[in-house]
Amino acid sequence: MALPVAFFAVFFAWPVAAIVARGLKADGAWQFGRLADVLTQPDIRHVLWFTTWQALASTALTLLLALPAAYAFARLDFPGKHLLRAVVTVPFVLPTVVAGSAFLALAGHGGLLDQLWGVRLDTTVWAILLAHVFFNYAVVVRTVGGLWSQLDPRQEEAARMLGASALRAWRKVTLPALGPAVAAGALMVFLFTFTSFGVVQILGGPTFSTLEVEIYRQTSEVFDLSTAAVLTLVQFVAVGAILAVHAWTVRRRETALRLVDPKTTARRPRGAGQWALLTGVLVTIALLLVLPLAVLVRRSLDAPGFGYYRALTNADGGTFLVAPVHAVWTSVQYAVAATAIAVVIGGLAAAALARRDAGRLVRGFDALLMLPLGVSAVTVGFGFLIALDKPPLDLRQSWILVPLAQALVGAPFVVRTMLPVLRAVDARLREAAAVLGASPWRVWREVDLPLVRRALLVAAGFAFAVSLGEFGATVFIARPDNPTLPVAVARLLSRPGDLNYGQAMALSTILMVVCAAALLILERLRTDRTGEF
């Protein structure tokens, strides 16, 4: 418990407090009058209102479209399932710059839909909502599907035997067990869409602005740190409130579940209903997730003989002192380090939180861990600059700062993915092992680990993917010329000319492939380890 707390205090609480203080303190006195000044501006109110309602709408839409998929991945066996599970996670890690252009190519003017049916969605709120679904589909599929595949189907079957209808059996048996995972997934989606930045900026045009965009603008463009500080506090309060509600609902519904090997729970689809559902899920994935990605890949192949890919290996000394392709290696290294940090910090925190005797204080920390997801990258990035600038912690130019910032975003994922499973481990198993003379370490190794290994791998995959595609915080950290993939893509996109654009698309394609490969390896790891229960 001490390590995660220290980590968050030093790398999150302190920098953020420092930058907020810089904005709200004048001559050593707090200027809380600024709060009222800022919050009474109609512009700011409009931003708050838009931020909230688009997040609610996006979350509802994502759940609606992704829950059937979570079921299909958990309960049905079909060829190519592992590959597809990796594919649906790819959008989540794409830099928003890339996804934005892919969406514009699809739904903008002259895009695919425009050519086919004259449908144009750019600069409408629909484009924003659909892009949010595109990004967050995997969140629901993985958090809910991960647990669902480990629920024992025999419980539902028993209810059916006792005369419950299929729907009722599902409602009374499966749904309560899934509740915490659905809530966790929904909460994450809400957090992401509430703090959405890139998507809103690219697809919404200048007419739509979220709180996050406004904070960025006030800090980066206008340099009005006090307004930015007020907005940061508002976002803090909002996110804190969401988290508090979530913690309360989850605690009320948690029960010890009987988890089984996921291999035994999935079956080939049977009956018209299941086939129809599977078809529906596949069509949704094809249209909403694969199509934008396909447009992107096609654009990267527009030059004869993989010309854009070949161009990536030239260091032109201009934008890059190293060849853009070098960014792939840099990114992977950062991601490995970030994943390690996130898994350790998140894992330790989850273990502490899952204990039955965890006190109120510890549980409060659960909500704190989630806060980095709700604080804008620009705030954290600028906070790093002014907080971590003195020895022994002058990390401003150290390479470790990038994985640290990424782990800050990754750790909450690890906690959210592992906690439902850890809490669902029946405490009596541990007690039995302890009675039989096992040391606490051994109890953890023999009882907890086999049950949570899968969740651990899912969490690690998530942390890795988040790190690979993380753009916000990375951009705010000064770096010698070692751009990560998303940064390199953004840099290429900001220079005119066909070759640069093509290279950006090629690099994005590489990013997609690297992510999909990493996720696939994790899937493989998982299936090797199953027969150990």
Partner 1 sequence: MQNKTFVAVAVGLGLIGLSACGAGGGTSSADSKTVTLVSHDSWAVSKNVLQDFENKTGYKVHVLKDGDAGQAVNKAILTKDNPQGDVFFGVDNTLLSRALDNGLFQPYQAKGSDLVLPEYRVDQAKHRVTPIDTGDICVNYDKAYFAQHKLTPPQSFADLAEPAYKNLLVTENAATSSPGLGFLLGSAARFGDNGWQDYWKKLKANGVKVVDGWEQAYYQEFSGSSEGKKAGGDRPLVVSYASSPPAEVIYAKKRPSTAPTGVAHGTCFQQTEYAGLLSNAKNTKGGKAFLDFLLTKEFQDDMPLNMYVYPVREGAQVPPEFMKYGPEAKNPETMAPGKIAANRDQWVKSWTSLVLK
What residues from 453 to 482 belong to the interface with partner 1 (CB under 8 A)? 475-476, 478-482
In the complex with partner 1, the residue whose CB is nearer, 33 or 317, is: 317
- Minimum distance from residue 374 beta carbon to partner 1 (Å): 22
Cβ neighbors of 398 (< 8 A, separation 6 or more) are none
341 forms part of the interface with partner 1 (CB under 8 A): yes
- The DSSP call for residue 450 is H
Residues 7-36 that bind partner 1 (CB under 8 A): 22
400 forms part of the interface with partner 1 (CB under 8 A): yes
39, 64, 119, 321: residue in contact with partner 1 (rule CB under 8 A):
321
340 forms part of the interface with partner 1 (CB under 8 A): yes
Token code pair at residue 112: 């695919």
Q: How far apart are CA 240 and CA 245, in angstroms?
A: 9
- The DSSP call for residue 76 is B
User: Whats the size of the chain, residue-wise?
Assistant: 533
Residues 415-444 that bind partner 1 (CB under 8 A): 440-441, 444
493 forms part of the interface with partner 1 (CB under 8 A): yes
- Minimum distance from residue 405 beta carbon to partner 1 (Å): 13
Query: Residue 417 belongs to what H/E stretch?
Result: helix 401-424
268, 270, 360, 390: residue in contact with partner 1 (rule CB under 8 A):
390
92, 382, 413, 464: residue in contact with partner 1 (rule CB under 8 A):
382
348 forms part of the interface with partner 1 (CB under 8 A): yes
323 forms part of the interface with partner 1 (CB under 8 A): no
Q: Phi then psi for 438, rounded to 5 degrees?
A: -80, 145
155 forms part of the interface with partner 1 (CB under 8 A): no
Asked if residues 469 and 508 have their Cβ atoms less than 8 Å apart, the reply is: no
- Minimum distance from residue 380 beta carbon to partner 1 (Å): 13
Q: Which sign, positive or negative, has the C-alpha torsion 92, 97, 100, 106?
A: negative
In the complex with partner 1, the residue whose CB is nearer, 78 or 399, is: 399
Cβ neighbors of 25 (< 8 A, separation 6 or more) are 31
344, 358, 434, 521: residue in contact with partner 1 (rule CB under 8 A):
344
Q: Which stretch binds partner 1 (CB under 8 A): 151-159, 173-181, 282-290, 347-355?
A: 347-355
Residues 187-226 that bind partner 1 (CB under 8 A): 201-202, 205-207, 217, 219-224
109 forms part of the interface with partner 1 (CB under 8 A): yes
77 forms part of the interface with partner 1 (CB under 8 A): no
Asked if residues 284 and 65 have their Cβ atoms less than 8 Å apart, the reply is: yes
518 forms part of the interface with partner 1 (CB under 8 A): no
Beta bridge partners of 76: 267
- Minimum distance from residue 26 beta carbon to partner 1 (Å): 15
Cβ neighbors of 56 (< 8 A, separation 6 or more) are 190
- Minimum distance from residue 288 beta carbon to partner 1 (Å): 20
Give the binding-site size for partner 1 (rule: CB under 8 A).
80
Q: How far apart are CA 201 and CA 135, in angstroms?
A: 15
Q: Which sign, positive or negative, has the C-alpha torsion 285, 286, 288, 293?
A: positive
Asked if residues 507 and 69 have their Cβ atoms less than 8 Å apart, the reply is: no
305 forms part of the interface with partner 1 (CB under 8 A): no
489-498 as b/e, with b when 16 or more CB fall inside 10 Å?
Answer: bbbbbeeeee
- Minimum distance from residue 87 beta carbon to partner 1 (Å): 25
Asked if residues 172 and 141 have their Cβ atoms less than 8 Å apart, the reply is: no
- Minimum distance from residue 104 beta carbon to partner 1 (Å): 5
Interaction mask 245-284, partner 1, x per CB under 8 A: ----------------------------------------
365 forms part of the interface with partner 1 (CB under 8 A): no
End-to-end Cα, the chain, rounded Å: 28
Q: How far apart are CA 201 and CA 209, in angstroms?
A: 7
